[in-house]
Structure 1
Amino acid sequence: MDSVQLLLIIGAGIAVSAVARKRDLEPGMIIVVLAAAASFLPGVPRLELDSEFILAVVVPPLLYSATRGASLAAFGANLRAIVTLGVLLVLLTAGVLGLVAAWLLPSLGAAAFVLGSVLAPPDTITTVSHGDEIGLPKRVTSILTGESLVNDATALTLFSIAVGVVGGEQASWGHGGLQLLRNAVVGIVIGAVFAVATLWVRKRLGNPTLETALVLLVPFTAFLVAEHVHASGILAVVAAAFLISVNLTLDPRHQYPGAYRTRLQEAAFWPVLDFVLETFVFAYIGLQLRFVLADLAGSADPGLIRTLVAAGVLLLVAIVFRLAAVYLLFGRWTLREWMIQRRVARDASFRAEYERRGRRGGAPSTVPTQREALLVGWIGMRGILTLAAAGSIPPRVPGRDAILAIALFVTLGTLLLQGTTIGWLTRRLRFDLSAERAQEREMRGRGQRIVEEVGHEPAGDPDAGFEAQRLALGRAVMERRLTEEIARAMIDEIDLRQAARHTLPPARA
């Protein structure tokens, strides 16, 4: 791929995205469809990239950016649901889809499970980013955000194990299971080390440009170092992003003068980088369509027709299996909660003990309802990770073209069937968000009172008042008097006011 083609892809992506957003359409879906159509134009060359390029260059910054906005408190409050969906469900989905793929396309052999791992993780970050517009309940948003971060790590680790088994680098699936656990632990440790080092260096640079450049290096270096020692690069990136974003915003020990300028610069920088990388991947995969179909048409096994049929079946299985699995997993909690409440009602000693120790294991305060389970189950679109993983499959893997084509069709199918109907389904389910919004207003008012109690600028130091307000909000989060989301939103506003204070000319007497 030369530089002219790359510039044309990004330029076209800007135009397509502008039109798509005005019509409330998903830009990624439009870009991949148009790129697929463009691949059939005469003279369009086949674009080839090294199989490691997409995973090493595209995925880490996208994942870091998505993690920056996630709430650590909400992650912990919904830990059971997140781990269940992000680990257990991904493993089950990869196994089921791998078995179905092996039955439909026997020529793939063990590579069917490479396909299963590629199709397993749903990409819900884009949907969650429009949660308020769609009307998603806060708990659904928190679960889907956490799931998207965890399932990426699970799926990519499983993907690397499956590719290793196919290539003869991995001895067995049992050994791969132990490797999955070891990769997760080592990856998290590496991410934590990079976070600590970044926090220490960052406040000593004293320059927003240098600080932003330092943070930009974190997802790449954490990912590559973790992968070099055969650990989970994805979990390294997630752990680093969580620790850096939370500490820089809320922890008083990591606050320093001028940090607001860096936060504002990063808030503008990361969405631009996200757009460029997502546009590139969607367009790159779409532009492969004609060539992949031509290769399949010229092969006897699996062949074009069988591959397209397999793609349709796998699309249906992926959608139905997620719906059924989410209902069963959430239903198990509902049954357990019902049994606990019955015992609480008839056993006074158990009730006293239950109330004393409270909830344990990171469970949400209440069990997800059937309507929430239906919504979580339906929001299962495949997206950027599926396409990136499919594009990174080494040429030595049998049936690579078939896997790439199926990944493309399943992604498009879920975007068309599920992505375009989420808003309609949410409205039909008629969630009552009045209590949630009232609580948010009350929490916002509490945060405003905390800021007002601090006061504004002391004489002779215009920045000290802003710093004191941010520190007060951070302490309120640590003391659980304020939610992390509200505190972050208010700190963003304080940053803007402080920047305006230094930008606007002083008022005339």
Structure 2
Amino acid sequence: MTHILIFMVAGVALVLAVELVAHRTKLPAAALLTVCGLIYATLPGTNIVLDPHVILTFILPPLLYSAALNSSLIAIGKNLRPVISLSVGLVLATALLVGFGVHLFLPAISLAAGIALGAAVSPPDPVAALAIGRRAGLPPKLITLIEGEGLLNDATALTTFTVAVAAATSGGFSVGLFGFKFLVAAVGGLAVGIVIALLIRLLRSRISDPLMVNSLSLITPFAAYLLGEEIHVSGVLAVVVAGLIIGHDTPRFSSGASRLQTSAVWRLVDFLLEGFVFILIGQQLPAVVKGLGAYSTSDIVVAVAVTLAVVLLLRPVWLLVTQFLPRRLHTRLGGTSAAESPLNGREVLVMSWSGTRGVITLAAIFSLPLLTSDGTPFPGRDLLLLCSYVVVLVTLIGQGVTFAPIVRATGLKADAAAEALERNEARTAAANAGLSRLAQMTEDEHLPSDSVDSLRTNLEHRLERYQRRADVLESARNGEIPVSPEYEAALAARRSVIDAQREELLRRRDLGHLSDASLRVLERELDLEEFTLPRRH
């Protein structure tokens, strides 16, 4: 127990240190943490061996749920065809092609065992790609595709993996049975996610305390996952569906205080869990290589080469085929919206290089049983572990490090000015709605005139500020937000005023004229005011 505690403390320190290095060097933190884990694995001492049940039960649900909360149900719906193509079609194609390829070159590994390997290596883990893509300013459409694929592909892959392992251990594989079990797991997971989301909506409508809302949020992914697994459907899909619906409903059913607190907690959970996961990936090297003595070098090279080739080559081929060939078909079906329009060549290149694998691949492959139902060793288990581990390292480190340069080379970038203008227009509409409500309240209720005048003046000043900002944004070129000296000076002045107020509060506390409890209340007011200001770049 002591060595686990030491590992956790050292792990948090390492995650913090690597994040600082990543910010300075612009290298992906995921790749750096994995390399640190690899280095640690070669040192003398105890390594923490990955427990697949811990990963699938305690690590995967909160990570998926948090990603779903921050995704857009509407955006995924607009891009549903490409998301389904990547998260279901490509995953199944990868699993089958890897399975047939490995079985063809290494007949000792059964087809079902090969498909289990293919299912394990098929789902990309979008954490690293999204972190790099957001920093590089990828367009929202590509961010949505990467997010949507990452949310749904785990359910497809794990369901396929479970069915394939069952076939490998029992000695038979039926396409019809596989399709039936997959359909039941998917439909059941979807239903469980909807039920959990509706239950949480009902509970949140009766809870107003932010701490209770936050506690409810933390247990939701585990409830969805465990319920799904208990009734033998996809717990992973249940978590994703629940997160998407709850995230969509949150602005309507939660208070501002609850949203601020819940958002902060989930950011911390993501930061720590993702950091530990990548360190853990690197540490699995000894566990992977210890059983390879029974295999010839040629068998190892062939198995790894086939698996890597399918994973790296099938993705761009799939994107090219599904994006470029069906254009005439899309037109015949009534055309496509801007969100659903086929990807161009640069977008296909970026999407092809965003398929980094991660902990789901290792959690799945480590859960392979040691023995089949008749007591014989599971065919090629150690070799399958190596293939999966190499795929994770090559994609996570190789693609992770080179992803940002490729994004920059393509010139793809979000239209920052258009996004800022969209937000500015929404602020203007909200302020006008506030003025309309104020006018209605003035007619229907007896409100103090000084309060009405103060509120009206505040809203009118906002509208003037938004109009000036709109004029600046509409003059933008190449999607870059123009630098407005007046706007920047106004922001600096507002920050300076907040800093002066904080300093005065601290001075009064130090002199004994203000209690610490009162200081915290007043500081929170200033913190919330500062939080509304645009972030410094």
In which range does the TM-score fall when normalised by the shorter chain?
0.7 to 0.9
Q: Out of 318, 332, 348, which is 1:373 matched to? A: 348
1:61-101 CA-partner distances (Å, limit 9, x unpaired): 11001111111111111111111111111100111112222
Aligned equivalent of 2:388: 407
Aligned pairs for 1:175-194 (under 5 A) are 175-194=177-196
Task: Judge which range, 223-232 or 10-19, deviates more.
Answer: 10-19
Q: Out of 422, 427, 444, which is 1:448 matched to? A: 427
Q: Structure 1 pair 243/291, CA: closer, same or farther in 2 (3 Å)? A: closer
CA separation in 2, counterparts of 1:419 and 1:244?
31
Amino acid at match of 2:124: P
- Asked if 1:430 corresponds to 2:411, the answer is yes
CA offset at residue 304 of structure 1? 6.0
- Asked if 1:321 corresponds to 2:317, the answer is no
Aligned equivalent of 1:479: none
Q: Structure 1 pair 162/14, CA: closer, same or farther in 2 (3 Å)? A: farther
Aligned pairs for 1:295-444 (under 5 A) are 295-297=291-293, 300=294, 302-303=295-296, 306-337=299-330, 340=332, 359=335, 364-396=339-371, 397-431=378-412, 433=414, 436-444=415-423
Aligned equivalent of 1:168: 170
CA separation in 1, counterparts of 2:67 and 2:173?
34
Amino acid at match of 2:404: G
Aligned equivalent of 1:288: 284
Larger Rg: 2
CA separation in 2, counterparts of 1:199 and 1:214?
11
CA contact (8 A) 2:28 2:132 kept: no
Task: Judge which range, 84-93 or 163-172, deviates more.
Answer: 163-172
CA offset at residue 49 of structure 1? 5.4
CA separation in 2, counterparts of 1:313 and 1:505?
55
Q: Structure 1 pair 437/285, CA: closer, same or farther in 2 (3 Å)? A: closer
1:217-276 CA-partner distances (Å, limit 9, x unpaired): 111111111011111111100110011111111x3xx25xxx211211121111221222
CA separation in 2, counterparts of 1:211 and 1:122?
32
1:274-317 CA-partner distances (Å, limit 9, x unpaired): 222223332233222123212213xx2x3566335532442233
CA contact (8 A) 2:83 2:145 kept: yes
CA offset at residue 414 of structure 1? 1.3
CA contact (8 A) 1:89 1:325 kept: yes
Q: Structure 1 pair 132/504, CA: closer, same or farther in 2 (3 Å)? A: closer
CA separation in 1, counterparts of 2:526 and 2:126?
40
CA separation in 2, counterparts of 1:8 and 1:17?
14
Amino acid at match of 1:443: E
Aligned pairs for 1:226-241 (under 5 A) are 226-241=228-243
CA contact (8 A) 1:327 1:377 kept: no
CA separation in 2, counterparts of 1:125 and 1:280?
13
Task: Judge which range, 369-378 or 184-193, deviates more.
Answer: 369-378
Aligned equivalent of 1:119: 121
Aligned equivalent of 1:503: 525
CA separation in 1, counterparts of 2:396 and 2:340?
32
1:132-166 CA-partner distances (Å, limit 9, x unpaired): 43232222221121111111111111111112222
Task: Judge which range, 50-59 or 181-190, deviates more.
Answer: 50-59
Task: Judge which range, 391-400 or 27-36, deviates more.
Answer: 391-400
Amino acid at match of 1:66: A
Aligned pairs for 1:194-233 (under 5 A) are 194-233=196-235
3-state SS, counterpart of residue 236 of structure 1: helix
Aligned pairs for 1:133-144 (under 5 A) are 133-144=135-146
CA separation in 1, counterparts of 2:21 and 2:179?
45
CA contact (8 A) 1:121 1:386 kept: yes
CA offset at residue 368 of structure 1? 2.0
CA offset at residue 28 of structure 1? 2.0
Q: Structure 1 pair 146/99, CA: closer, same or farther in 2 (3 Å)? A: same
Q: Structure 1 pair 334/408, CA: closer, same or farther in 2 (3 Å)? A: same
3-state SS, counterpart of residue 52 of structure 1: helix
- Asked if 1:247 corresponds to 2:249, the answer is yes
Percent identity between the aligned chains? Answer: 33
CA separation in 1, counterparts of 2:433 and 2:408?
42
Aligned equivalent of 2:264: 268
3-state SS, counterpart of residue 123 of structure 1: coil
Aligned equivalent of 2:61: 60
Amino acid at match of 2:525: T
Aligned equivalent of 1:157: 159
CA separation in 2, counterparts of 1:54 and 1:319?
25
Amino acid at match of 2:405: W
Q: Structure 1 pair 155/287, CA: closer, same or farther in 2 (3 Å)? A: same
Q: Structure 1 pair 220/305, CA: closer, same or farther in 2 (3 Å)? A: farther
Q: Structure 1 pair 219/305, CA: closer, same or farther in 2 (3 Å)? A: farther
TM-score (normalised: structure 1) = 0.79
CA separation in 2, counterparts of 1:242 and 1:169?
38
Q: Structure 1 pair 429/12, CA: closer, same or farther in 2 (3 Å)? A: closer
1:465-487 CA-partner distances (Å, limit 9, x unpaired): 9xxx9xxxxxxxxxxxxxxxxxx
Gaps of 5+ in 2: 372-377, 439-446, 460-497, 499-520, 530-537
Aligned equivalent of 1:475: none
CA contact (8 A) 2:31 2:401 kept: no
Task: Judge which range, 240-249 or 286-295, deviates more.
Answer: 286-295
Amino acid at match of 2:261: Q
Q: Structure 1 pair 269/166, CA: closer, same or farther in 2 (3 Å)? A: same
Q: Structure 1 pair 330/82, CA: closer, same or farther in 2 (3 Å)? A: same
CA separation in 1, counterparts of 2:263 and 2:55?
24
CA contact (8 A) 1:282 1:387 kept: no
Q: Structure 1 pair 11/306, CA: closer, same or farther in 2 (3 Å)? A: farther
Amino acid at match of 1:401: D
Q: Structure 1 pair 211/411, CA: closer, same or farther in 2 (3 Å)? A: same
CA offset at residue 425 of structure 1? 2.0
CA separation in 1, counterparts of 2:7 and 2:379?
29
CA separation in 1, counterparts of 2:30 and 2:228?
29
CA offset at residue 323 of structure 1? 0.9
CA contact (8 A) 1:308 1:406 kept: no
Amino acid at match of 1:286: G
